Amino acid sequence: MMNYSLSFLVGVIFGIIPFSYMLGRLRGVDLRNVGSGNIGAANLGRSLGLRFFILGFVLDALKGIIPVLLSHSLFDYGTFAGAGAILGHIFNPFFGFRGGKGIATTIGVAVSLAARSFALSLGIWLLVYLTTMLVSLASLCFSVALPFFSFFLRDGTLADRLLFILIAIMVFFAHRSNIRRLIRGKEAKTVLWRRK
């Protein structure tokens, strides 16, 4: 139980680091007051362009990769570190428990735990995004594809696959306002490579 708790705590510590928000502040932009008001990489990209999206995305992904690999080496419980990182990112205590949407950090966790399923799910994300320009819809599809492929391919451990189901639930919860806008046809399209 102690190792489970320590692994989860390691994940949370990494997850609550608001990289995209800090990048925005370095450029004089408070992500809470622009675009969707979200502190994640997608809103950073909408506000400052593709280069900042990529940087924020990579840093947020590392919040999932590093604690999983670290916990694997120290405690052999990377799954719990992944769960902690995603929860810390989505429910960030520094922002009133309102953080990012969790996709970049989920990708970092998925790369570490089930690389084949991640690769196929990323293909789904790219297909949906490039045909709709809707980051939120692509992210929701990614979160559903990840547990599907992991079970279909028997990728990762059973605990990893169950985590992916929980991740999908958390991602849908974090995107609840986006889902309402998608249903109403009001969700804004995002061209991440548009110059700012």
Pick the more confident residue, 193 or 21: 21
Percent of the chain residues topping a pLDDT of 90: 66
191 inside domain? no
- What are the angstrom distances between the C-alpha of 174 and each of 71, 84, 99, 115, 118? 26, 15, 9, 24, 20
User: For residues 188 and 140, what is the distance between their CA atoms, to the nearest angstrom?
Assistant: 15
Total domains in the chain come to 1
The reply to whether 45 falls in a domain is: yes
Q: What is the pLDDT of residue 98?
A: 86
> Residues 106-129: what's their mean pLDDT?
94
> Domain range holding 7?
2-184
pTM above 0.75, yes or no: yes
Residue 189: inside a domain, yes or no?
Answer: no
State the pLDDT at residue 192.
64
pLDDT confidence of residue 89: 93
Condensed to tens digits (0 to 9), the pLDDT of residues 132-164 reads 999 899 999 999 999 999 999 999 889 899 999
